[in-house]
Structure 1
Amino acid sequence: MLITEAPFTLRKWTVKEYHKLGEMGVFHPEERIELIEGNIIKMSAKGTAHTSALGRTDRLLQSLFANLAWVRMQDPIALDDNSEPEPDIAVVRIDAFDYATHHPTPSEVYLIIEVADSSLAYDREIKAKAYARSGIADYWVLNVNERQLHVFREPAEEGYQSEVILGESAIVSPLHFPTFNIAIQAMLPPIMP
């Protein structure tokens, strides 16, 4: 027997509803979740390689961008009415009110970086699509297992039109700051002898 209709439909959530659920205490305060395209996603636990790469990347970008932009770590970005991800790193415009009135929106985001140890497929497919649809021009996925950087650019409704994979010995420049040269190896955990 061929089933032509799904036996159920998923309930999609808006950012407003997602915030209301949080205010009502539906989520545990320590629970790591984010809203992507109307779906409440539980984020995977951070491994040691992920944590090391995140810390190294944060310190590197904090010193590099100094007074030119803010580097936010695992803070929300307001993509649209149905997506509020918490990227590992977001380089955003400086805001006079310290983003007290709103989370950064796509027009205020220079660069988003996700660090992937167990989440590579999710970051390259699901998150990349959400970021592209919102017009995030520069999206990087730091693959700590393969020691590579996936650079996504040219956002479109169906996803990014360009993905370049760079090895750990390469140098990369952010789209909005083309004179900055970042060694990919400096973002990755050191290789232990």
Structure 2
Amino acid sequence: MATRYRFGVEEFERLFQGVKHLELLRGEIYEMSPIGPRHVFTVARLDKKFQALLGEEAVVTVQSPLRIPPRSEPEPDLLVLKPPLEAYAERLPEPQDVLLLIEVADTSLEHDRAKLALYAEAGLPEVWIVNLQENLLEVYREPQGSHYRLRELVPPGEAKAPLAFPERPVPWS
């Protein structure tokens, strides 16, 4: 009989330190698919926009791990975190640090949508999925249990302001 083994975040970090493109989700390890040019471009463009818009008011990280104890450590495309940057010198960000999480999804759309339950359970206040397949921004707010109560679809050409910065709309497309 085969036994499934589930990893905790500490064990995952110890055993797979330095191994790229892996995510720990609910104790299981997922190899992330390679990213294409549209994905890379979209992430870089959003990073540049958020850095310019928020300056020192937030910490923006690109494809960095988010520690969700006890058994998850996803690597979203962008994290907008509470400052200061020095708070993360000796530890990975955790849910209470997150102002906004952004996934850019092309071939990974279903996988990224499946992670919404994990993000809601962790209490992340807002998640954006940049849906490259349909050219839409999916905005998720108000976590409740394993889902988000609010879902908004933002078409290209429209800007969206994050909850944490309501006076600063971001042109996402």
TM over 0.5: yes
Equivalent in 4, 8, 20 of residue 14 of structure 1: 8
Where does 1:28-177 land on structure 2 (aligned, <5 Å)? 29=18, 31-95=20-84, 97-125=86-114, 127-177=115-165
DSSP-derived class of the 2:6 partner: coil
Q: Percent identity?
A: 34
TM-score (norm 2): 0.93
Query: Unpaired segments of 5 or more residues in structure 2?
Result: none
TM-score normalised by the chain length of structure 1? 0.84
In the TM superposition, residue 30 of structure 1 has moved relative to its aligned partner by 5.2
Determine which structure has greater relative contact order: mean sequence separation of CA pairs < 8 Å that are 6+ residues apart, divided by chain length: 1
| C-alpha displacement of 1:145 | 2.3
Q: Which has the larger Rg?
A: 1
Instruction: Identify which range, 97-106 or 139-148, moves more after superposition.
Output: 97-106
Q: Is the 8 A contact 1:167 1:184 kept in 2?
A: no
Q: Which runs of 4+ in 1 moved over 3 A?
A: none
Displacement, 1:161?
1.7
Tell me how far apart the structure 2 counterparts of residues 178 and 18 of structure 1 sit (CA, whole Å): 36
Secondary structure of residue in 2 paired with 1:90: strand
Q: Number of paired residues? A: 173
Alignment root-mean-square deviation, CA: 1.6
